[in-house]
Structure formats: C-alpha cells, structure tokens
Amino acid sequence: MPKPDRSWPSGLRHLRTRGVSLTTRILAVNVIALALLAGSFFYLDSYRKQLLSERFKLARAEAEIAADALDGADSRQRRALLARIGTEQKLRLTLYDARGHLLEDSFQLAAPSFAFVDPASEPWYQQAARGLDRGVDFVVGAPMIERYREPPQPGAANWPEIARARAARRTEVYLRYAPDRTPVITAAAPVGGEGEMLLSMRNALDITQAVRDARQTLVIIIGLALLASIQLSLFLARTIVQPLRALVRAAVRVRLGREREVVVPRLPDRRDEIGLLARAISDMTNALRQKIDAVESFAADVAHELKNPLASLASALEAMDKVEDPALRRQLADIATHDVQRIDRLITEIADASRIDAELSRATFADLDLAVLAGQVVGARGARPDQRGDCPIRFFRGDGPAMVRGDALRLERVLDNLLDNAASFAPAGSVVDVAVESAGGRVRLTVADHGPGIPAAEREKVFERFHSVRPADEAFGAHSGLGLAIARTIAEAHDGTLVIADRPDGAAGACLVLELPLAGEEEE
C-alpha cells in the first residue's frame, strides 16, 4: 500500500495539480490574487446601501419639513411652496386629499426638476454598467426592487407607501428603480390632521453615479493589475519553464541514446537554482559520457586481453594432437597451462576492476591508522618472492598522526598492488622502501624501488586499464595491467591521489605516492 504524500499539509492535498503545466500554475496563482481583489465589489455594494440609507433619512426629513410647511397654508401658499421646494430640491411633490384625489403636483406648478433617462438613448458603456449592476446584485443576493412606472391615472391608490403612512400616522420611505436602473426614492408624510398626504419623489442619480464611478475605477485598477500580472507571470514562466524544457529535451535525447549529439545548456549567466540545476545536469551528462566511454573501452580491452591467451591456448591444444615427441608435447602442455593460468588471473582481475566502484559506493569508512595498516601488510608479506629472487621490504614511519578515514581492506589492496608493482620491476635482492609520513593535513605513503623507473611520458598511462610497461625479461602475461588502475580508483574514492614520482634520494627507480586527507581535515 503506497504511503500518503506528506509533502503537502493535510488541508491542501486536494489542491494538488500534477497534470497542470507550470505556466498555468503561475498564471492561476496571480489571477487568484486579483480575484480576491475583485471582492472589493462586495464592499462597494455595502457602500451603495449606506448611501441609500442616508438618502432615506434625508427623504424622510424633507417630506416631514414640507408637510409641516404645508399644514395651515392656504391654496396659493401651498402651490408656491410646492413649486419652490420642488425646483430648489429637485423633487417632485404631490399632495393628496383624504379621499386620495390629487390636489397639487409640483411638476404641473413649475417646470419638472428632473426627468427619467430613456435607456435606449444611452451609449453602450451605460448598458454595460447596468449589466454590471445586475451581476453584482445577483452575486450578493440583493432583494428584487420594484420598477418605477408612471401611473396611468393620478391618485393616492398608485402609491402603497401613502396607505401605510396614513395607517401608521408616520412617514414611510419607499425605493424603486427608474427605467435606467437609478434609484427612485419616495417618502409619504401626513399633512395636518385632515387626512391629507404629501408624496415626495427624488431620482437619486448621484448615488448610482458615485457607485459606478467607484466600480469603474476599481475595474480599471484590476484590469491594469491583471494585464501586468499576466505579463509578469509569462515573463516568470519563460525564465523558469523555457530552460527547464531545454533541459528536459536534452535529458530525453540522452535517454534515447543520442547523448553524443546533445549539448546540455549550462546557463552560465544564471546564478539562481535553475542555473545550478542546468550545470548539475551538464556535469552529470559529462560524467555519464565518461562512464560510457570507460565501459566501452574496458569491454574492448577485455576482449583484446582475453583473445591473446585464448589464441595461444587454442594453438597449443591444436598442435598437441599432431606432435608425437613427448618433450615437445610437455612443452605445449606447459604453454597451455600457463595460458589457462593467465586467463584465470585476467578474469579475476577484470572481475575486481568491474565491481570496485560499486563496492566502494557501499563501503563504510572508519578512522584508521595508515601507518599501522602499512606495517601490518609489510610484516605479513615479509619478503616478496618472485621469479628473480627475494626483494626485502624496509618500512619507515615518520612522526605525527597518520589517521585517515577509509576502508581498511581496500587500502590494504592498494598497498599490496603497489608492492606487487615494485617487486615486478626491482632487481632481485634489492630493497623496496615503504614510508608513511604526515604533513599539511595529508598522510603520504610512498613505495620506492630500485628498478629501471617509469619514463615521464608513461607515468599517467600506467594507471590506464590493461596498460603495463613490462620489464624486458619478464614472461609475457605475468601481469594483467589492472593493478595500478584499481589502486588509483580506490585512492580517489578515499578523496586521495596516487601518482608516480622520482625517488627522493635521486637514485634510479620508481616511487609511487599515495596521499590521503588526515582524518578530520577532509571536510574542512
């Protein structure tokens, strides 16, 4: 059963969008932030309600003041008051008697102080503004507002607020929408005690205009912010997505086996994480190419090295069937035995060389004294016997610590290979010197012999697999040419080096130098 993904908080795991492109995600994050800004429209609706509430209070006060002024005035004074108040306050005032009949209308006593706008005559942006008003009302769940319609016949029965005000003996305010969706605020107030009623009407265009102006400003701000956000998001996406896609294409071509045709972009101008990733992938690809080259070269070398003893073995076995001379048959049998031993030695060395990297990657390093380890190896070997006699080994340990971090078995293998190499070149009876010293945060182990030495031009080549500079009198095939290559691989896995130098005393011979970091110094 797969383990749950803990990389997301539990409340956000459902928001994962693994199938969505990075560009879309960047755009979505920025647009969502703008959508939250667009929530200001809800604040504007509360602003509109606040304006209407203040206007309701004003309408109530205006109606009550006008009703008080009309109470007790004669007909001529009433008409003058209605005309003047209506003109100055931009109101329509209508006066009804107790039976609901229309007595006076300010629009008939003076020129109308306002007129309802015909929506059909307005430009398109006003139509869009009304559409936005309806959309906001729908989103915020605003109640339905009655549409204003001019009554076909005059009379108080057309206005329910008059009936409510007469019954309650107080001023009632009512809201309707004009044809252009602007507020029409009416207020009905009793006039005196005879049952007369005054109805004031105002078309509050300023409220609608104030809200629409605020919305228009907000829309412009959101639009500009959205445009800038999209441009910045696309720029950010290009700076991230395009180099990632280039790296993906290069990685796919490497996977398909066309890595030789691929130049992985390193993006040297970028100092951010994308640049670090590009350079890491480029380095990884180069390392992969080197590994592939090494494997191909190793396979070719293995085939070549095995082919020689196999050919010699096949020739010896074929000749044995045709030779009757016992001495010659014994000589051919010796050749066949030697070739079998050579093949066995090659296979053993090849197996070690092929798995050395994998074994080192799994090895556990520990602190160990390289001088003690070298002393144990030298003591166990005693003298190195070979075909030319004994080569005694002389061991020297310098002052100072010789603690290193490493794998004891692998470092022992390095020293054995260096001693084998020294014994192969050293004259019979000559001394092989082994010394361990420390200086400058490094521990140095040297193995020096009195052989012919290694030419400067060959000092790097001898660390290549199957490459060997053999002594002239050595039997062909006595060494596989893998010993020093294995030794350098182990040294480099320990953050060390293995090189060939001249003997420090100036005498003839080779000097192989292994250097490892002193324990505690390798991470500094």
Question: 432-450 as b/e, with b when 16 or more CB fall inside 10 Å?
Answer: bbbbbbbeeebbbbbbbbb
Structure tokens at 137: 């009302």
Q: What is the pLDDT of residue 241?
A: 75
Going by C-alpha positions, the residue among 458, 459, 461, 450 that lies closest to residue 506 is: 450
Rounded CA gap, 386 and 400, in Å? 34
Structure tokens at 21: 């492109």
DSSP notation for 472-489: TTSPTTS--S-HHHHHHH
Q: What is the pLDDT of residue 196?
A: 92
Rounded CA gap, 80 and 78, in Å? 5
- pTM of this prediction? 0.46
Among left, alpha and beta (phi > 0; psi -120 to 50; other), residue 143 is beta
Going by C-alpha positions, the residue among 219, 215, 206, 202 that lies closest to residue 94 is: 202
Rounded CA gap, 107 and 227, in Å? 50
Q: What angle do CA 362, 365, 369 make, to 5 degrees?
A: 150
- Residue 462 CA, chain-centre distance (Å), reads 45
Q: What is the pLDDT of residue 174?
A: 95
**Cβ 401 vs Cβ 518: under 8 Å:** yes
Q: What is the pLDDT of residue 384?
A: 47
**Cβ 140 vs Cβ 127: under 8 Å:** no
Q: What is the pLDDT of residue 347?
A: 75
Going by C-alpha positions, the residue among 170, 191, 237, 236 that lies closest to residue 82 is: 191
Q: What is the CATH number of domain 363-524?
A: 3.30.565.10
**Cβ 384 vs Cβ 415: under 8 Å:** no
- Measured between its terminal Cα atoms, the distance across the chain in Å is 43
Domain layout of the chain by residue ranges: 40-215, 266-362, 363-524
Question: 256-291 as b/e, with b when 16 or more CB fall inside 10 Å?
Answer: eeebeebebbebeebeeebbeebbebbeebeeeeee
How many of the other CB atoms lie within 10 Å of CB of 207? 19
What's the topology of domain 266-362?
Answer: Helix Hairpins (1.10.287)
> How many residues does the structure list for the chain?
524
Q: What is the pLDDT of residue 378?
A: 87
Q: Is 462 helix (H, G, I), strand (E, B) or coil?
A: helix
Going by C-alpha positions, the residue among 133, 124, 116, 91 that lies closest to residue 180 is: 116
**Cβ 175 vs Cβ 183: under 8 Å:** yes
**Cβ 234 vs Cβ 23: under 8 Å:** yes
Q: What is the pLDDT of residue 20?
A: 60
Going by C-alpha positions, the residue among 158, 167, 168 that lies closest to residue 199 is: 158
Going by C-alpha positions, the residue among 450, 470, 474 that lies closest to residue 462 is: 470
Going by C-alpha positions, the residue among 192, 75, 183, 84 that lies closest to residue 137 is: 183
**Cβ 59 vs Cβ 183: under 8 Å:** no
**Cβ 429 vs Cβ 390: under 8 Å:** yes
Q: Is 155 helix (H, G, I), strand (E, B) or coil?
A: coil
Rounded CA gap, 249 and 251, in Å? 5
Going by C-alpha positions, the residue among 378, 379, 476, 460 that lies closest to residue 422 is: 378
Q: What is the pLDDT of residue 426?
A: 80
Q: Chunked in runs of 10, what are the mean pLDDT values of the chain (524 residues)? A: 48 50 68 65 74 92 92 89 92 93 93 91 85 79 88 91 92 93 94 91 90 78 78 76 79 68 72 78 77 67 67 76 77 78 71 66 83 87 53 85 88 87 80 88 90 79 64 49 80 88 83 89 52
Rounded CA gap, 376 and 263, in Å? 50
Structure tokens at 8: 């997301």
Rounded CA gap, 214 and 220, in Å? 10
Structure tokens at 362: 């799994």
Q: What is the assigned CATH class of domain 40-215? A: alpha beta
Place of tokens 């090849």: 350
Q: What is the pLDDT of residue 331?
A: 80
